[in-house]
Amino acid sequence: MNPYLGGFILGLLIIAAYYFAGEGLGSSGGFRDMAMGSIQAVAPEFAAKHPYIAPHVADGHSATHTWLVYELLGVIFGAILSAVLYGRLRWSVGKAPHLTKRRRLYLALLGGILWGVGTQLGRGCTSGLVLSGLAVDSMSGYLGLAAIFGSGYIFAFLLRNLWLKPKNK
Amino acid sequence: MMKKTDKIIIALLVFGGIISLFYPDTHPFRRVVSQKELAYDAALPSHYISTDRVARMLMEADPSLLLVDVRKPGEYKNFTLPGAMNIPVDSILSDKHADMLDQDVYTVVLFSNGSRLADQAWLILHSYDYHGLKVLKGGLNAWYRNILHPQKPDATEITSEAYKRYLFRKGAMYFFTGIRPAGTSASPKPAAAPKPVVKRKKKEVTGGCG
Amino acid sequence: MGPLYPQELLKPEYNLLIGFLIGIGFGFVLEATGFTNTRKLAGVFYGYDATVIKTFFTAALTALVGLFLMHHWGWIDIYKTFYPSTFWIPTLIGGAIMGLGFVVGGFCPGTSLSAASTGKLDGLAFLAGVLIGIYGFIFTYPFWWAGLRASGKLGKVNFPQWLGIRESIFIFLFIVVAVISFVLYQKWQDHWKAKMTKDDLDELGL
């Protein structure tokens, strides 16, 4: 798909999300809801007393019964639909050619853990914090953009061997 | 080498941006002013306005002046400045008054008997980032002293400055009280104190919650 | 007038259904534009692929301009939405952690879910990491994060208002900057393209 067209459609989806649900598109929030929901299911009393979970499960609310979780379910279907249409649905590992698969998977796991912590601290990820924040000119979106991409460019330079083939000496 | 779709979408964005230029800001939120900022601003004398200045604005029927009496309604009924409205300090933050107090069209002057209550109101409002509010220096006490009962400067300290001010105050006293000060020969008719026109902004529709 | 759900103009179940439908669109666009390809995402930082930058900022600006105009036309009241509050300290620190995670892991949470759904094992590993990270955060929250997460509170801040710039001028400048960076990124990508092998070009879909 044309990148600008994709962006345009994505922008309309953000508008729709704000128009109907009153909130932006997000991802990490949905994962947080699922994690909290699983804790709530296993140990409801612990969840009800935990300072971070409690607001999400107050009054017997289910932490997983949220807009963001349903939106994420949709993401799964949408992605599969597109992959089928473009003939890209198959098992594979995306990586720079010079990396081993095992190394790439460990790095992906590690990167994921960093995101798990970072999103909870920073109140959202690239979609929930930055994209949806920018859409309403919220300062949080601009700060998130600067922090994520600012640190991204610094680390990208330091860790360039992860993505670019090291030059032969 | 841009494709047609690229051009259309970029043109759409730029067009949208140009249309946006014709619209004002979307401004309802107030940031929370930090305590440091608040302490700094409160220490500046620039948010005080003198009785002379207010008297002059009233005499000139300056339409931008909005006097706000922050004392209790009973005190307000007893005596207040011409055209002043009453918003007791307890309800100063209520949404009803937000449109009027938080704008940059009027010079809003808060006053009480002394400066203390008005200072309090100013501090509360300023911490919610209301801009351009003034406090009447010395309050109604100063008004009484300076405008309603101006004292002739002592002969020893008469400077042209002090004397001019005295003359102005005598004129103001005549304007506000109708009592002709001794020694004035002119006979202007006592005019009713003008009421500043307070145009309320249209209240926006506020959903279903009251 | 929007937003519908916060004003109780939309039943909760329909709201969730619409969320699901919007999610389908979100996932579709992410996959279709290549956000599930970790190398394309990393191209943001090295310049060999301009797709992500174009899509991302076109999306942000479309939504920004759209919501700004809709707000003024009375179609939606932005300030009745769950407008994000700004906590500058945790956002900067969390953002820096996410930036490192981006370079190390090659995804962000939304793209990793799309990638995992379409059979990308690296996306799946990333996703597992995100959940581990969130569980870790939750369990260590009371003694490690609670104070930091609540620090630097600024409330709901409109950025141009904070800068003291007229909002529409800010939006217009943002568009200009974005278009310029699209062009520059395209140049950067063209510069790389000359050096890339056919396999690389195929994999990136350039």
Q: pTM of this prediction?
A: 0.71
Mean pLDDT of A90-97: 90
**Closest alpha carbon to A33 in A66, A58, A60:** A66
Q: Which chains touch B (3 or more CB pairs under 8 A)?
A: A, C
Could you tell me if A78 and A111 lie in one domain?
A: no
Helix (H, G, I), strand (E, B) or coil at C18: helix
Q: Per-residue pLDDT for C15 more than 50?
A: yes
Of A36, A70, A90, the residue at which a domain comes to its end is: A90
CB B88 within 8 A of CB B71: yes
Could you tell me if A103 and A122 lie in one domain?
A: yes
Residues of C with Cβ-Cβ distance to A17 under 8 angstroms: 19, 22
Domain count for chain A: 2
Could you tell me if A22 and A72 lie in one domain?
A: yes
**Closest alpha carbon to C206 in C58, C30, C61, C52:** C52
Q: Per-residue pLDDT for A60 more than 90?
A: no
> Would you state the pLDDT for residue B128?
73
Q: Per-residue pLDDT for B205 more than 90?
A: no
Mean pLDDT of C171-190: 94
Secondary element (H or E) of residue B49: strand B48-49
* Interface residues from chain B to A (CB-CB < 8 Å): 3, 5-6, 9-10, 12, 26
Residue A122 is part of which domain span?
A: 95-169
Per-residue pLDDT reduced to its tens digit, C111-148: 999 999 999 999 999 999 999 999 999 999 998 998 89
Nearest C-alpha in C relative to B16 = C65
- The larger pLDDT score, comparing residue B125 to residue B69, is at B69
Strands C86-87 and C153-155: antiparallel
> Would you state the pLDDT for residue C3?
87
> Would you state the pLDDT for residue A122?
94
Residues of C with Cβ-Cβ distance to B36 under 8 angstroms: none
* CA B76/CA B133 separation, integer angstroms: 20
From C79's Cα to the closest Cα of chain A, the distance in A is 9
Q: Which chains touch C (3 or more CB pairs under 8 A)?
A: A, B
Test A113 with C122 for CB contact under 8 angstroms: no
Share of chain B above pLDDT 90, in %: 13
Q: Where are the beta strands (DSSP E) in C81-167?
A: 86-87, 153-155
Per-residue pLDDT reduced to its tens digit, A95-136: 888 899 999 999 999 999 999 999 999 999 999 999 999 999
Please report which confidence band the pLDDT of residue B181 belongs to, taking 50, 70 and 90 as the band edges. Answer: low
Nearest C-alpha in C relative to B18 = C172
Lowest mean pLDDT among A13-17, A102-106, B7-11, B100-104: B100-104
Nearest-by-Cβ selection for A108 from C21, C81, C126:
C126
> Would you state the pLDDT for residue C6?
82
**The tokens of B149 are what?**
């009962």
> Would you state the pLDDT for residue B1?
52
Lowest mean pLDDT among A63-67, A142-146, C7-11, C174-178: C7-11
From C62's Cα to the closest Cα of chain A, the distance in A is 5
Nearest-by-Cβ selection for B26 from C65, C167, C172:
C167
Please tell us whether the domain made up of B35-144 is placed in CATH 3.40.250.10: yes
Could you tell me if A56 and A128 lie in one domain?
A: no
Could you tell me if A105 and A33 lie in one domain?
A: no
* CA C31/CA C25 separation, integer angstroms: 10
Test C91 with A35 for CB contact under 8 angstroms: no
Nearest C-alpha in A relative to C31 = A79
Helix (H, G, I), strand (E, B) or coil at A25: coil
Residues of B with Cβ-Cβ distance to C159 under 8 angstroms: none
> Would you state the pLDDT for residue B32?
59
Test B5 with A4 for CB contact under 8 angstroms: yes
Helix (H, G, I), strand (E, B) or coil at C154: strand
Nearest-by-Cβ selection for A150 from C28, C99, C158:
C99
Could you tell me if A85 and A140 lie in one domain?
A: no
Nearest-by-Cβ selection for A119 from C78, C94, C138:
C94
Q: Which chains touch A (3 or more CB pairs under 8 A)?
A: B, C
Residues of A with Cβ-Cβ distance to C130 under 8 angstroms: 28, 31, 112-113, 115-116, 119
Nearest C-alpha in A relative to B27 = A137
> Would you state the pLDDT for residue B161?
79
Could you tell me if A84 and A2 lie in one domain?
A: yes
Could you tell me if A20 and A51 lie in one domain?
A: yes
Could you tell me if A11 and A84 lie in one domain?
A: yes
Nearest-by-Cβ selection for B29 from C68, C157, C166:
C157
Per-residue pLDDT reduced to its tens digit, B10-59: 999 999 999 999 998 886 665 556 677 777 778 777 889 999 889 988 88
Please report which confidence band the pLDDT of residue B197 belongs to, taking 50, 70 and 90 as the band edges. Answer: very low
Nearest-by-Cβ selection for C154 from A9, A39, A139:
A139
Residues of C with Cβ-Cβ distance to A105 under 8 angstroms: 121-122, 125
Residues of A with Cβ-Cβ distance to C135 under 8 angstroms: 35, 116
Helix (H, G, I), strand (E, B) or coil at A43: coil
Q: Per-residue pLDDT for A30 more than 90?
A: yes
Mean pLDDT of C67-72: 94
Q: Identify the DSSP state of B186.
A: -
ipTM field: 0.94
What is the domain partition of chain B in residue ranges? 35-144, 151-177
Could you tell me if A83 and A110 lie in one domain?
A: no
Instruction: Specify the amino acid at residue A82.
Output: S
Peptide bond into A97 cis (omega under 30): no
Could you tell me if A125 and A49 lie in one domain?
A: no
Mean pLDDT of C148-176: 89
* CA B170/CA B175 separation, integer angstroms: 9
Could you tell me if A145 and A71 lie in one domain?
A: no
B77 class by beta-carbon count within 10 Å (0-12 exposed, 13-18 middle, 19+ buried): exposed
Degrees to nearest 5, angle at CA B72 with B71 and B76 = 75
